[in-house]
Structure 1
Amino acid sequence: MEIWSANSDGYSFVISFFETFAGPGFHGRPGYVASWRPLYRGRGAIKIIGSPFKSFDEAEAACDAMLKHLMSDQVVIE
């Protein structure tokens, strides 16, 4: 498993690469799974829609789009 992580504007983003989802707790097709969570609220991660992605670039673009959405005035995270 490979993991990439970054923090921006109070949010944490993680991209994990799984070659196989055959282990305990892992089910589905292999690829890049992108997730986010509020950085300082102690909440679990939320998988970004579309995961797993075929490439790292797709997963990174999904994280960028999610951050833009979260930073808009329309989203309130409690």
Structure 2
Amino acid sequence: MPLQFHRAVEDMEIWSASSDHYSFVISFQSPTGPGFRGRLGYVASWRPLHQGRGAIRVLGSPLQSFAEAEDACNTMLNYLKGDTDSSSQ
């Protein structure tokens, strides 16, 4: 089942989802303007839910669209669960 992202912070472009003991976050960053600063795009990250560890950026971030970031998170979740067969999506 694909991750179901929901808006995590009302005044910022931050979405979160969790599944199978992993937490995923997508945030929008830009070199200027409100919110996170950095290269323009959507940054996807993940971490184990109950281990108190820092987040790990999903390879390819920042991405050009929210849909690309969402797909990257779902691909990472499948990898973490041990299902590296991308044709099953």
Which residue is 2:23 aligned to?
Answer: 12
Deviation at 1:26, TM superposition (A): 4.2
Question: Cα RMSD between the aligned structures?
Answer: 2.4
Greater relative CO (CA pairs within 8 A, separation 6+): 1
> In the superposition, relative to structure 1, how do residues 52 and 21 fare at CA in structure 2: closer, same or farther (>3 Å)?
farther
Question: Structure 2 unaligned runs (5+)?
Answer: 1-11, 85-89
> Within 2, Cα distance between the matches of 1:58 and 1:73?
19
1:58 equivalent among 68, 73, 83: 68
TM-score by length of 1: 0.81
Question: How many aligned residue pairs are there?
Answer: 72
Structure 1 unpaired stretches of 5+: none
1:73: Cα distance to partner?
A: 7.1
State the TM-score, normalized to the length of structure 2. Answer: 0.72
